Amino acid sequence: MADKFTTGQMPPGQKLRGSDGAEYLILRLIARGGMGAVYEVGRPHDATRWAMKEMSETAFSRGDRAATVAKFQQEAELLRALRHENLPRVADVFEFNHRHFLVMELIEGRTLGELLDDHGGPLPEKDVVDWGAQLCRVLAFLHSRNPPIIYRDLKPDNVMVETASGRVKLIDFGIARRFKGGKRSDTFMLGT
């Protein structure tokens, strides 16, 4: 198998079958990054739309592939078990053509990073205070799990703001981890 980055190349109209037999139809590419891509997909049997995160095994060397797939599946399992208004809901996790997919709630909105770039200066104080309070609530929720969940990549690009409601959603749990007590140092330098 070639070690070539191939995510983000599924054309609109392509169909994939999920773990429970549900069919997902690619509608458009939303974003492509270093670890994979995110598509908007439709689920024809119930006329719903979702975000589908794709991770290609071919993006990694043979030695790293198993660990990378395990981390992707860990992210999926972590999110699937969590229910909070500031976290995306997970609908499915499956493998297709040596690629692994995570289907989650489609968030109609923009990241805080995009909002900051477009605004060209400080955002309205009222909005910032509201978003900050929401982030504190979701982080408190994560920290209150047993064992606690440590979200290690909090940055404007990982916070989505829903257009209609103003609700924030914390996204990208790729490097979150469960806290392991008894260690002097809990985390490595990961993320941005």
Give catalytic residue positions: 153
Helices (H), 121-171: 125-143
CA distance 91 to 9: 22
Instruction: Give the list of residues 6+ apart from residue 31 with CB closer than 8 angstroms, or none.
Output: 37, 38
| DSSP designation for 124 | P
Q: Tell me which amino acid residue 70 is.
A: A
116-152 residues labelled b (16+ CB within 10 A) or e (exposed): eeeeeeeeeeeeeeebeebbeebbebbeeeeeebbbb
